[in-house]
Chain A
Amino acid sequence: MTAQAASAPAGTRLKALKRITFVDVVLWALRVIVVVVVVGGTIGTFVKGTYTTAQWVDFFMFGLTIGGVYALIALGYTMVYGILRLINFAHGDITMAGAFSAYFLASSLDRAGTLDAFPLLAMLAIMALAMGVCAGIALIVEHICYRPFRHVKSLAPLICAIGASFFLQHAFRGMYGSTIRSYPDPEWMKGRLDLFGFEIPVVQPIVILTALGAMLFLYLIVQKTRMGTAMRAVSEDRDAAALMGIDVNKVIIFTFILGGCMAGIGGVLYCFVYKQIYYFTGFFPGIKAFCAAVLGGIGNIPGAMVGGFFLGVVESVGPALFLDGIGITAPYQLRDLIAFTMLVMILIFRPQGILGERLASQRA
C-alpha cells in the first residue's frame, strides 16, 4: 500500500487524501490520545518525581504477581479458543467457584493449624480442591452450553456462556452466601523478603513461582505428551485431526479439564494476594485474563503467559506512570480503565496480539 502511494503521481495522492473518512479521523485521534497520555504522562511523572525507586519496584512486583494470576486464567481462555474457536465467557466465574470452594478447606485448615504446620501440604490440598471444582464445573458448562452448539456457527454458544456466567455467580451466592469472606493469612505469608536491596512481601515470590511452575507443567503437557500433541492437532484443524483418528471429543474434554485446573490454581493464588472472596470475585479477573489472552494472541499458549504478565505490570504501574503525570486526581480509581483500553486498542489495531496469528478478524 505505502509503496504504491509513494510511487503514484500527485493526483492520486490527493484522491487518497479525499478518501480519508470520518472513521479514520476518529481512529487516528484515538491513537494520538493514547500516545500523548502514555508519553506525556511518563515524562510528567518523572519530572514531578513523586515516586521513589522502591515504590516503582513495589508496583512492578505487584504487577508481576497479579500478572501471573491473569496468565493462569488466560490459559483457559486461550486453549478453549484454540480448539473450539469460542470465548468461554464463564471462565472467570469457574475460577471463582474453585477458589470459593477451596476457601472452606483453607479456613478450616487454618483453624486447625495445619496451614501453619505443613504449609506445602496444606497449599497442595487447597489447590487440588480448587482444581477439582473448577475442572468439574468447566466440564458441566461445556456439556450444557457448548456441546449442543459445536456444529453451529452463531452467537448461540456465547449467549449461552453469558447466561452460564451469571447463573454460576448467583448459584454460588445462594449456596455460600453473599458476604465477603476473608481468606486465611498464615504467618509464613506475612513477612517481607530482601531482594537486591528491595523489600517485597513474601507472598509475591510465592505466587509468581507457583504460577511459573504451573505454566511450565502445562507447557510440558501440551508439548510432550500424546494428549498435548492431539490438542495441538485439533486446534490446527479439527476435521483433519478427526480424520487422523484423534478422538476430538476427548481432546475437548481434556482441554476444559486442563483450563479448569489452571483456573483453580490461579483463583486460589488471587485470593491469597487479595485475601478475600465473594461471589463476584471471578468476573473482572476473568475479563482481564481474557484481555491478557487477546493481548498475547488468542489461541497461543505462550502468548497468554506473556500477555498475562504484561497486562499485570502495565495495570499496576500504569496509573502512577501515565495518569498521575498528566495531573489526574486519584489515578488508582482508573486502574480498570487501563486493562479495558488496552483490550479495545489491541482489538482495533493489532487483533493478532503480541505473538498470535490473525484469528480475530477471520472469525465472523
Chain B
Amino acid sequence: MTFTVVAASYRHRERQRSAPYRTVMAGVTFGGVAVFLGFVGILTMFGQREVIAETLSLAHLTIAMSAFFAGLWVTHASSRTGLAARVAQGLGAGTVAGALIALLALSIHLFKLRRVFIALKKDLLDILTFEQSIGAAVAVLVIGGALCGLLGAALYLMPRKLRRPLVVGLTWAFFVGLFQELIQLMLQYEFLMKFRELFFTWDGLKPQGALIVFAAAAVTAAAWQAYRPRYDSFRENATPGQARMLLGFKILIGLVLIIGFPAFAGNFIGQVLMLVGLYVLMGMGLNLELGLAGLLDLGFVAFFAVGAYTTALLTSNADIAIANMSFWQALPIAVVLSVVIGVLFGIPVLKVRGDYLAVATLGLGEIVRVLVLSDFAAPVLGGAQGVLGIPRPSIGGFEFNDPVDLFYITLVASAVAAYFAWRLENSRLGRAWTAIRDDEDVAQALGINLVNVKLLAYGLGAGFAGVAGAIFAVMLASIFPHSFQLLISINVLALLIVGGMGSLPGVVVGAAALIGLPELLREFGEYRFLFYGLVIVVMMRLKAEGLWPSAARRRERMLEEESRAAIEAELRGGASR
C-alpha cells in the first residue's frame, strides 16, 4: 500500500469514531492545551498582557479560545451528522474543555503543586478563578466553556458570507490589542495624537477602540467579499499591459512599505526588522542546502560565526585584530572565507546521508564552537572574551549607526542575495540539487557529479550565512562565542520549515513569523524555543510544505490531494456496502 492509501484509510477510520468519543476527545485536546500552557507558565505570563485594557487579558482569552476551538473542531469533524447533534457536540466539547481547566484550578487550590511545578502558584490560581471563590470559579469555567463551545459551533455553522467578516474583524481587533504598545509607539507624532486617544489609553486598547477596529475590519472584509468577483474577472480578462501595470503597482506598494516603514516606525522596529533580515539571509543559505539539495545541516551556525569573526578580526580596533580595514573591504573576504570553510566542512560529510548527516554536521558545528571558546584558540580568536570594538560601516562620511540605517544595509544585502538565490534555483546547478534531493543514486546515474554539486551547496549556502555574520558583527559592535550556539541553526531550520522548504518567499514569511513575532512580543522570548519546537512538529504533521510552498511542492500537493480524494471516495463506497 502506498502512503497515501494508508493515510487515507487512517483518516477514514478516525472519522468513523462515535460522536461522544469525538466530543470528549476534542474537549480534552483543546482543554489539555490550555492546561499545558498553565503548567509551563505561559498562562501566567499571558495574564499580564491585556488585549483590551482592564477588560480582557490574554490568559482569559486563551482559556475561552480553548473551549471555543474545541466546539469548532468537533463541529468540523462531524460533518455527516444533523444540525442539532452538531450544536450539541459543540456544547459538549466546550464543557469538557472548561471542566478540564476547572480541574486544574481545583487541584492548585487543594494541593501544594508549586513545590514541583513552579508555575502552579497563586498568580495562576487568581487568573483561573477570576479572583473569586473556587466554587464560583469552577461554575464559571464549566458554564463559560459550554457557551464558548456553543459559539464555536455556531461560527462554524454560520453561512460563509457572515463568517468571513466576523473572523477578519475579530482577528484584527485581537492583533491591534496584542501589539498596542508598538502601534502606540508609531503614533507618537503630534498630528496623530487625536487618533491615538480615540483608540488607546496608556495601558492598552480601549473597549471602544476594539469595537471600532472590529467594525472597520469587518466592513472592509464584507465589502471586499462583494467586490472580489469583479476584481477577479478584471484580473482574468486584463490585457497584458494592464496585468503588467497591476503587478508594477503591487511591487511599488511593497517597495514603499518596506523602505518607508522602518524609517517611520523608529529604531525598535528597525532593530527587529534587521534581525529578520539577517535570518532571511541565513534562511536563504540553508534553503540552498536543505530546501534544494536536501542536506540537513545542523552546523550551519558555524558559517555565520566565520563571517562574523572574519569581519571582527579584520576591522576591529582591539589588540588581537589582524588588520584595520573598513567593513566594505572586509565583507568580501568574510564571504569568500565562509565559502571556503563551507566546502571544507562538506568534504568529510560527503558520503554521510540523511539522519546521520544531521548529527555529523551538528558535531562539526559544535567542534567550531568549542574551539572558538577555548583558551587554546584564545590568542587568535579572543576566547570567551570575544572581540570588541568593531567599527560601524560608513560611506563617504555617513556612518550607519542607528538600527534603521543598518537595516537598509541588511535589506540591500538580502535583495542581492535573493536575486542570486533565485537565479541559482533555476540554473542547471539548482536542478542538479533538486535531483540529488529527490534521489541521490538516480541523480548520479544521470551524470551529476555528486561531489561537486554537494560541495557547491555547502559552499554557497555558507556564503549567505557569511554575509549575515558580517552584518551581525557590525550590528553588535562586539562578538562573543556565546552568540553562536546550536540554537541559531535550529532557528534557521524552524523558519525554513514554517515558510516552506525550497521556497524563497517562504523564507521571508518564516523569518517574519518566527523571528519577528517573538521579538515584538518581548516577554514571550523565554518561551521562544518551546514555541519553535511545537511549530516544527505541528508543521511537519499538518502542513509539511510550509506556509508559502514552492511552486513544485504546490503542484505535487495538488496531485496528492486528488488521488487522496479518489481513494477516500472508494473507501467510503466500500464501507457503506
Contacts and interface: CB of A to CB of B under 8 A. Distances in A.
Interface of A: 21, 23, 26-27, 30, 86-87, 89, 104, 144-145, 148, 151-152, 155-156, 158-160, 162-171, 173-177, 287, 290-291, 294, 328-331, 333-334, 336-337, 339-341, 343-344, 347-348, 351, 360-361, 363-364
A336 B544 CA distance: 34
Interface in B295-312: 296, 298
Sorted nearest first, the 6 A-B pairs with minimum C-beta distance are A174-B40, A163-B536, A167-B533, A166-B533, A170-B530, A340-B363
19 contacts: A23-B455, A158-B354, A162-B490, A166-B530, A169-B533, A170-B530, A171-B530, A175-B116, A287-B359, A334-B371, A337-B370, A340-B370, A344-B349, A344-B360, A347-B360, A348-B349, A360-B352, A364-B353, A364-B439
Nearest to A93: B533
Contacts of A151: 1, 3, 6
Given A166-B530, A333-B374, A344-B363, 17 more contacts: A89-B358, A162-B493, A163-B532, A163-B537, A166-B529, A171-B40, A287-B359, A330-B374, A336-B366, A339-B363, A340-B366, A344-B360, A347-B356, A361-B353, A363-B353, A363-B355, A363-B356
Nearest to A147: B10
A347 B351 CA distance: 9
A334 B374 contact: yes
Contacts of B367: 337, 340-341, 344
A158 B40 contact: no
A317 B35 CA distance: 47
Contacts of A89: 358-359
B67 interface: no
B570 to A, nearest CB: 19
Interface in B509-556: 527, 529-530, 532-537, 540-541, 544
**In terms of DSSP, what is the predominant structure of the interface of chain B?**
helix
Contacts of A294: 356, 359
Contacts, number: 179
Given A23-B451, A333-B374, A348-B351, A176 B118 contact: yes
A51 B119 CA distance: 49
B373 to A, nearest CB: 7
Q: How large is the interface on B (under 10, 10 to 19, 20 to 34, 35 or more residues)?
A: 35 or more
B540 A156 contact: yes
Contact of B541 (A148, A333, A339, A340): A148
Given A156-B544, A177-B118, A348-B351, A329 B40 contact: no
A321 B1 CA distance: 55
B344 interface: yes
Contacts of A152: 3
Nearest to A158: B355
B115 interface: yes
B296 to A, nearest CB: 6
Interface in B1-59: 1, 3, 6-7, 36, 39-42
Contacts of B535: 163
B347 interface: yes
Contacts of B370: 333-334, 336-337, 340
Nearest to A81: B355
Nearest to B367: A340
